[in-house]
Structure 1
Amino acid sequence: MDNNSKKDQKPKKQLSNYARFSGIAIQMFAIIGVGTFSGVKLDEKFPNENNLYTIFMSLTSVIFAIIFVIRRIIAASKNN
């Protein structure tokens, strides 16, 4: 019996990891999407030649998303 419970634990743990990391990816895309959308709206409201708000907000949101992912991965590795 003890051997079967260990076999059942492994697929559940893998599934949990897949769910956790797919959730992180979705959150990362959401952060980047909101940042880029905000930049586009700012460029529409305050027009300029090079769409600087879109560029700045996109890059800033990518940096925040990367920091978010790194923190979540570190926290997940500490829990295991």
Structure 2
Amino acid sequence: MAANNNEDQKPKKQLNPYIGFTTVAFQMGLTIYLGSELGNWLDLKYDKAFWKPTLTLFSVFIAMYLVINQVVKISNKK
């Protein structure tokens, strides 16, 4: 008889939720780098020294927002 026996099935191992934080540094670095490069490109295009510091600071805030969201999601799963 081919019954579905729960004793025969091994429980699936779940990954540690904190493994998601291993990519946080790369995500933050890439976000800030792309914001800086976009600001640099806009500075060169419009011949102003306004965009690079503004977009770099804005990208830092975006990166921090993304990290805080990940922490909240992981904290709520516990």
Calculate the TM-score normalised by the size of structure 2.
Answer: 0.74
Post-superposition, which runs of at least 4 consecutive aligned residues in structure 1 deviate over 6 A?
none
Task: Note the C-alpha offset of 1:45.
Answer: 0.6
- Residue matched to 2:43: 43
How many residue pairs align between the two structures?
65
Q: SS state of the match for residue 37, structure 1?
A: helix
Task: Note the C-alpha offset of 1:62.
Answer: 0.4
- Residue matched to 1:24: 24
Stretch moving more, 52-61 or 19-28: 19-28
Q: Which has more helix, going by share of residues?
A: 1
Could you say which structure has the larger radius of gyration? 2
Provide structure 1 residue ranges, at least 5 long, that are not aligned to the other structure.
1-8
**Percent identical residues:** 26
Residue of 57, 60, 64 corresponding to 2:58: 60
What is the rounded CA distance, in whole Å, between the counterparts of 1:70 and 1:25 in structure 2? 13
Provide structure 2 residue ranges, at least 5 long, that are not aligned to the other structure.
1-12
